[in-house]
């Protein structure tokens, strides 16, 4: 059965979903925290924008635009001095807010500033917000938001598909059976947490269970938990488990050139007390990591060659369309410049309004 024409036409009007020139304003991972020690400075390119990133004496990480406002030297070649960054070329110095605080050949620095970006650390990763002021937090599983947890890194890979396309894998119900052999009959209920986050929660699990499910069935009473929380259209956290154990698997992606993705996976579980709790978590994280590797292998090949085009959505694809519609309502930025991406219609409307304003001001 085909879904209704309203859904279909809204899919056809996508401006941001799977667009290799666009991403959503939000938090994106940069590199593992341990790769940037106190006094280190590095050149990084994130979502097409060239940046310099450093860790000052106070351990705080600062991210700024790459090129020095004097003559354009890459600040990633510079040196960290206390909590400030000194350009390699003529030693102009910038503080953590990007303000020029020293020009060696002048008595007073000039009133100039390099652009800095909100930067934070979580899950052993450095994250940046691709706008002025963060509107929402770094992605987290709703259940772990105010809890302590243990985590481990899963695989880090480059995929040949857009992050938005990779994301929908976690709610693509049909492929659970066909690719992953998890005989299942999942029914999702969606809930938008805010403009940048949406969850899909399984409300059903029928009797046709896979071997793995049958093995753990005696240990729990309720339906198996399967919940997906998406942030900024590029990070997905899958919460899976039984009533006594929840494992959270995060896939956080960044759009690379030509619609490819840089993906980092992470596995998290709630912290447990004592040495036995620690050992238990260590074992579960190791086990989950093995599963994650196995699952990624199952799909990776498809993402190398597919050309996404949801031409014939059926009822089983409904959650995917809800994800796309949620994504289209978020704030889109252009890859490379990080400027607001506007639809042509909006631009025409705005210029008409400006023209009208100009007339009425006369
Ligand atoms: S280019 Fe940076 S100080 Fe001259
Ligand atoms: Fe999959």
Token pair recorded at residue 353: 């309004």
pLDDT value, residue 221? 59
Phi first, then psi: give them for residue 117, nearest 5 degrees. -125, 140
pLDDT value, residue 45? 98
pLDDT value, residue 225? 83
Ligand 1 atom, smallest distance to 73 CA: 1
Q: What angle do CA 60, 86, 120 make, to 5 degrees?
A: 20
Q: Which residues sit with Cβ closer than 5 angstroms to ligand 2, an ion?
A: 169, 299
Residue from 64, 77, 78, 87 whose mutation best tests the ligand 1 pocket (most atoms within 8 A of CB) = 87
Q: Cβ(124)–Cβ(152) under 8 Å?
A: no
Phi first, then psi: give them for residue 72, nearest 5 degrees. 90, 15
* Beta carbon of 75 within 6 Å of any ligand 1 atom: no
pLDDT value, residue 358? 40
Ligand nearest to the CA of 91: 1
Token pair recorded at residue 270: 């709630």
Ligand nearest to the CA of 177: 2
pLDDT value, residue 222? 62
Ligand 1 geometric centre to CA of 78 (Å): 9
Which parts of the chain have pLDDT scores under 50? 1-10, 348, 351, 354-362
d(CA 186, CA 182): 10
DSSP 74: B
The class that CATH gives domain 142-330 is alpha beta
Residue from 78, 90, 110, 114 whose mutation best tests the ligand 1 pocket (most atoms within 8 A of CB) = 90
Average pLDDT over the chain reads: 88
Residue from 79, 92, 103, 110 whose mutation best tests the ligand 1 pocket (most atoms within 8 A of CB) = 92
So where are the chain's domains? 27-129, 142-330
CA-proximal residue: ligand 1, atom 3 (nearest): 90
d(CA 169, CA 238): 11
At the second CATH level, the architecture of 27-129 is 3-layer Sandwich (2.102)
Q: Cβ(288)–Cβ(274) under 8 Å?
A: no
pLDDT in tens, 234-249: 999 999 987 778 999 9
Q: Which helix (H) or strand (E) holds 11?
A: helix 5-12
pLDDT in tens, 37-68: 999 999 999 999 999 999 999 999 999 999 99
């Amino acid at each position: 059965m085909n879904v209704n024409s309203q859904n279909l036409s809204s899919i056809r009007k996508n401006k941001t979903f799977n667009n290799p020139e666009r991403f959503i304003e939000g938090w994106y991972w940069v590199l593992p925290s341990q790769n940037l020690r106190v006094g280190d400075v590095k050149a990084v390119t994130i979502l097409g924008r060239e940046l310099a990133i450093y860790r000052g004496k106070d351990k705080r990480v600062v991210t700024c635009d790459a090129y020095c406002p004097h003559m354009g030297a890459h600040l990633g070649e510079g040196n960290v001095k206390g909590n400030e960054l000194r350009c390699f070329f003529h030693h102009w110095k910038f503080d953590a807010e990007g303000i020029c605080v020293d020009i060696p050949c002048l008595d007073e620095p000039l009133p100039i500033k390099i652009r800095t970006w909100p930067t934070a650390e979580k899950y052993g990763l450095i994250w940046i917000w691709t706008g002025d002021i963060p509107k929402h937090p770094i992605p987290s599983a709703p259940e772990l938001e105010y809890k302590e947890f243990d985590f481990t890194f899963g695989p880090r890979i480059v995929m040949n598909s857009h992050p938005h396309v990779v994301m929908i894998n976690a709610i693509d119900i049909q492929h659970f059976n066909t690719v992953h052999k998890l005989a299942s009959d999942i029914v999702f209920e969606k809930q938008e947490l805010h403009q940048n986050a949406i969850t899909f929660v399984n409300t059903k699990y029928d009797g046709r269970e896979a071997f793995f499910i049958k093995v753990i069935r005696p240990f729990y009473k309720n339906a198996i938990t399967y919940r997906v929380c998406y942030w900024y259209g590029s990070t997905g956290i899958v919460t899976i488990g039984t009533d006594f154990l929840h494992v959270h698997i995060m896939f956080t992606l960044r759009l690379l050139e030509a619609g490819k993705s840089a993906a980092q996976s992470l596995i998290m579980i709630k912290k447990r007390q004592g040495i036995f709790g620690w050992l238990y978590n260590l074992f579960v994280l190791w086990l989950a990591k093995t599963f994650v590797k196995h699952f990624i292998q199952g799909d990776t090949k498809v993402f190398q060659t597919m050309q996404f085009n949801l031409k014939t959505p059926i009822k089983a694809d409904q959650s995917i369309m809800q994800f796309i519609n949620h994504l289209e309502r978020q704030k889109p930025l252009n890859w490379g410049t990080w400027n607001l991406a506007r639809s042509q219609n909006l631009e025409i409307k705005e210029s008409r309004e400006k023209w009208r304003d100009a007339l009425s001001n006369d």
